Every structure is written in structure tokens, then in C-alpha cells.
């Protein structure tokens, strides 16, 4: 990653509550040499991109001993945007993130800005066309899984094809373990 201005706000840790709520904002940055993202913005031309530009990213998080839970994350750029929710569990060397990748984010998201009807066309974050994904595995070598069928479902209907997440009641996503 290059460029960018970062703003981080986080509660201080206390003895009563080791969890810290926070929000991370990053503006005007580029991600370099990430082949999975390059495939997501492939326009059919035989061009190789060195970097994908993003205008902003915002994610809320809860930091606890050994893990970070991400929620309501959104990243926006002219070629690609997306959402993110999930958990990075350092104590168990596990990551489980999910969301939607939205190609041509600016144009794809225009109809989502319309009052009332925009909610059914993807809302302000997901756009009319997108593809659901999950990232699972060890933090040093995660695996990206996509659901190609989700690309056929516009806007709100795409929620049917999202990868599952669990909620343990404290507004943090948990990891479902099958070992």
C-alpha cells in the first residue's frame, strides 16, 4: 500500500473492560501487486495493473486480547469498492472475513443513492452488481473464496448468497470452527 492519510480513533483500555472500540479511516491510497484484486477489476483487456486506487476506507472495530473484530467496513475507489466484516483471531491463528466486491464502484453505485428504491438496488455501499467473498485461513496465508453465482443477483437479492457469519450477541462476529 502506498499513499494515504490515516485517522484512527480508539477507546483506551481499562481494567474493567479489555475490549476497545474504534474506527479506522484511510483516504487516497493505492494497493500494489495484489493479484486477487487485479482479477476483480479485470475489464477484459490484456492490461496488467501495478496498483488499484482507492479514495477512502472506513471500518469500525473491536480490539480484544488476541483478536480484532471488524464491522461495517467499506472501501471506495473508481475501479473497485467493497464491504468487509469479520474477525482476525491471532490467538488461534485464524482469519474469517466476508463481504462484497463491487467492480466499477462509482458507476455501479449510482442507483443505490436513490431514496427508498436505492436500498433494493444495493444501497449506498454495495452497488447494483457485486460478488460476495470470504477470506479464511491463517493470517499469513489466507484463502479468498468467491461466490460467482452472487454476481447474477442484483442489490438486496445478493444477500442470499453471502457467506455466513455468527453473532454472539455483543456486536462482534465470531469464528465458527470446524476442525
Q: pLDDT for 127-154, tens place per residue?
A: 677 888 889 999 888 888 888 877 666 6
Summarize pLDDT for 23-73 with one digit per residue, the tens. 999 999 998 877 766 666 665 554 556 788 999 999 999 999 999 999 999
Residue with cell 477470506: 135
The Cα–Cα gap between 160 and 147 comes to 11
Any idea what DSSP says for residue 65? T
Closest CA to 26 of 9, 4, 59: 4
> Are 150 and 158 a contacting pair, CB within 8 Å?
yes
**What is the reported pLDDT for 137?**
94
Closest CA to 4 of 73, 59, 50, 55: 55
> Are 56 and 34 a contacting pair, CB within 8 Å?
no
pTM over 0.85, yes/no: no
> Are 89 and 105 a contacting pair, CB within 8 Å?
no
> Are 6 and 19 a contacting pair, CB within 8 Å?
no
Amino acid at each position: 500500500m502506498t499513499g494515504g492519510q490515516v485517522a484512527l480513533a480508539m477507546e483506551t483500555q481499562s481494567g474493567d473492560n479489555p475490549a476497545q472500540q474504534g474506527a479506522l479511516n484511510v483516504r487516497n491510497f493505492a494497493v500494489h501487486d495484489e493479484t486477487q484484486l487485479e482479477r476483480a477489476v479485470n475489464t477484459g483487456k490484456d492490461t496488467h495493473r501495478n496498483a488499484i486506487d482507492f479514495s477512502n476506507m472506513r471500518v469500525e472495530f473491536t480490539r480484544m486480547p488476541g483478536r480484532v473484530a471488524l464491522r461495517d467496513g467499506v472501501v471506495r475507489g473508481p475501479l473497485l469498492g467493497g464491504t468487509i466484516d469479520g474477525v482476525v483471531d491471532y490467538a488461534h491463528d485464524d482469519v474469517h472475513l466476508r463481504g462484497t466486491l463491487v467492480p466499477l464502484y462509482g458507476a455501479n453505485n449510482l442507483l443505490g443513492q436513490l431514496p427508498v428504491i436505492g436500498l433494493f438496488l444495493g444501497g449506498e455501499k454495495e452497488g447494483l452488481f457485486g460478488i460476495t467473498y470470504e477470506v479464511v485461513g491463517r493470517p499469513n496465508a489466507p484463502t479468498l473464496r468467491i461466490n460467482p453465482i452472487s454476481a447474477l443477483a442484483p442489490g438486496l437479492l445478493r444477500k442470499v448468497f453471502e457467506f455466513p457469519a455468527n453473532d454472539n450477541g455483543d456486536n462482534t462476529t465470531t469464528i465458527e470452527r470446524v476442525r
